[in-house]
Amino acid sequence: MRVLVTGSRGQLGKALESVAPARGHEFLGYDLPQLDVTDADAVRRTVAAAGPDAIVNCAAFTAVDAAETDEPAALAVNGAAVKHLAAAADEAGAVLVQISTDYVFDGWAGRPYREDDPPNPLSAYGRTKLAGEREARAARRHLVVRTAWLFGDGENFVRAIRRQVEGGADSLRVVADQKGSPTYAVDLADALLRLLEVGADGIVHAVNSGSATWSDFAREIVRRLDSSAEVVPITTADAGRPAPRPLSAVLDASRLVSLLGRGLPPWQDALGRYLASKR
């Protein structure tokens, strides 16, 4: 299968580049400045020339707080660009895989979110990612994969905590009232390719199993780094970030299990493998 990946230099794009050949697929990666997904003509030309069987859209405006003050810029990448990719996918006869987020939910359900739960984003970022989902679903063949709290080869929460620990920090103030699903980009990349292989469509939640608060996540990182740094719990209000976050947006991955026969490994296992790969 020829798999065209936009945003190929991001965490998930890099993971797909490493995993795709191992699964027997051809990886075709594009990122800025080679391809600007907000340019409809460029998208059409690139996809037509590549002739992919699948397009995995990893390109995104992911600066959650910046989106609050520049929602049009976020919407151009997270929403309108997906319309261009959907049209190009239809012309090429390819399936469009749109990567989405737990931020399309408000976090008030009191249980893990299923694919058919109604979205209600709290932030500009969440609204623009939901717009992207809607554009992707207009493609004749589409798969929307929601994930969360991604860590891989690039800037992420694990790397930030590690940098503080290795910089000599003896205490870390970390939010304790937000709960989610930490997810390793390599595990997600493998799941995406397997979903394509079985012909999955519609919406699928794909996250490592288990859940944690950010402070839980930080404590596990600190423990695995053999550090004595103290994780000091704070509230979302204490953090003072511009964009509102869902307080509990754990994703239910039951559909992923039914499609693939198994889910992704526990996030603690994934964290251990990630840290080992960065030694």
Catalytic residue among 30, 113, 125, 184: 125
C-alpha to C-alpha distance for 182 and 180, rounded to whole angstroms:
6
Helix, strand, coil abundance in the chain, percent, nearest 5: 45, 20, 35
Let me know: does 56 contact 2? Beta carbons within 8 Å.
Answer: no
CA distance 231 to 152: 22
Closest CA to 101 of 131, 146, 135: 146
Question: Which residues, other chains included, contact 236 with Cβ-Cβ below 8 Å and sequence gap of 6+?
Answer: 175, 177, 178, 245, 247
Computed from CA positions of residues 69, 185, 145, 107, in that sequence, does the dihedral angle turn out positive or negative? negative
Peptide bond into 33 cis (omega under 30): yes
Answer yes or no: 274 catalytic.
no
Distances (CA, A) of 111 to 52, 102, 108, 115, 120: 38, 13, 8, 13, 15
Rg (CA), the chain: 18
77 vs 39: CA distance, rounded Å: 10
Residues 6+ apart with CB under 8 A from 186: 15, 18, 19, 152, 270, 273, 274
Q: How far apart are CA 220 and CA 157, in angstroms?
A: 12
Residues with catalytic function: 125
